[in-house]
Amino acid sequence: MIFCFGCCNFVGENRVLMTKENGKNEQKDIEPVANCDQSPEVVTNCNDLETNDNIFSQSKIESLILTIRGEQVMIDRDLADLYKVKTKRLNEQVKRNIEKFPLDFCFQLNDFEFENWRSQFATSNSDKKGVRRAPYAFTEQGVAMLASVLKSETAIVASVKIMRAFVAMRRFLVQNANLLIRIAYLEKHQIETDEKIDVILDKMEQNSPKQLPEAVFPTGCVWDAWTYVSDLVRSATRRIILIDNFVDDRVLSMLTKRADGVTATIHTRYSEQFLTDLKKHNEQYPMIEFIQLPQRHHDRFLIINDKVHSLGASIKDMGAGMCAVTEMAITPETILGLWK
C-alpha cells in the first residue's frame, strides 16, 4: 500500500474490497485514494512533485525581488522563467490585457534604471548582458494579475510562491526597519565624512609650502641643505640625473629616497671606492647607473624629470660652506649634450 500525505486530488468513488473472513465473502469500503497513490514509485511527500525544481525555492524567488522607484518588483524575464514561458509571450499577454495592468501594477524601466539593472546583474547572469530593450517590472499586484492572464497551472503555482516571497520580504523590511534606517544613516554619514576629508586634503595641498625654485644656504646649514635636496629627489616621477665630479656613499643614500619606477643615473669621475659602494648598493636597491665624466668638468647639476638645477656644491658637501641651488631654464638635453 502506498501512502501519500499532502495536497493531492482525490479521484473516483469509494472503492469496494472483497475479503474472505470465516469462509464468507464480505465487502468493505475503502477510503478514496489520491492520484499519486497510483504512481508505480513510492512517494514520501507529494509536495516534491511540484517543487522539485530549485527555481521554485523561496530563497531563489526572494533574491529576484528588487526595489525600483521605491517599489518591490520583479523583472519580466525572471517571472517568465518562473512561469515556464518565454519573456516575449508573457509581455504579449500583458499587452493584450493592458487594461488589467495600470502603472502601479507594471511599468517599463527608464534608461537610467535599465543601465543600473544591467550593470548589477550582467556579471551574475550572462543572459541579461545581451538585453537591448528595457524590461518591464511588475509589482506585487501585477504579479497576482499575471496568473489570471497566463491561465496555466504552472503560473498559478508560481504566483502563490511569489506572493509568499513578497509577503516574506515585506515582513523582513518591517521587522528590520530600524536597522535599515541606521545603516542608511551610517552610509550617508560616511559619504559626508569622506567629502569633508577630501576638502581638507585639498586645502592642505594648496596651503602647503611649495618647493622653491632656488635657495641659498649659509655656512653650517647642513641639515637644511640636505632636506632641500631630499625633497627634490622625492619629487621626481620619471628620472633623476646627477652630474657631479665628487660622489660618495652619502649620495647613494640620498637617491634611495626616490619613488618606485624612477630611474637614477650618476655622471661622475672614476673611483674604485665609489664603484665598490655602487655595486653593493645595486645588489639590494633599484639600480643606479654610472657614467664616467670627462676629466675637465667643473659645475654640478641635478636633473629632476625635465628640470635642471644648478648646484653650488657637491651634494655630499651641501651646507658645509655657503652654497646655492638654482632652477635653470635650460633643457636637460642641452646639458647632457655638451660632452658627447
Classify 97 as helix, strand or coil: coil
Kindly state the cell numbers that stand for 24: 464468507
- Predicted pLDDT of residue 8: 37
Scanning the chain, the segments in alpha helix (DSSP H) are: 48-51, 58-63, 76-83, 87-96, 111-121, 126-129, 140-150, 153-175, 177-207, 222-235, 249-255, 272-284, 332-336
pLDDT in tens, the chain (340 residues): 322 333 333 333 343 334 444 444 444 444 444 444 444 333 333 333 344 444 467 778 878 888 888 888 889 898 888 888 888 988 998 899 989 899 889 899 988 888 888 877 654 444 554 567 889 999 888 888 887 788 777 777 787 888 788 877 777 666 776 776 778 778 888 888 888 888 887 776 666 556 677 889 999 999 999 999 999 999 999 999 999 988 999 999 999 999 999 999 999 988 899 999 999 999 999 999 999 887 667 789 999 999 999 998 998 888 898 999 999 998 999 888 876 5
- Predicted pLDDT of residue 33: 40
CA proximity to 228, closest of 336, 306, 304, 298: 304
Distance CA 324, CA 309 (A): 10
* Buried-exposed string 316-338: b where 16+ CB fall within 10 A, e elsewhere: bbbbeeebebebbeeebeebbee
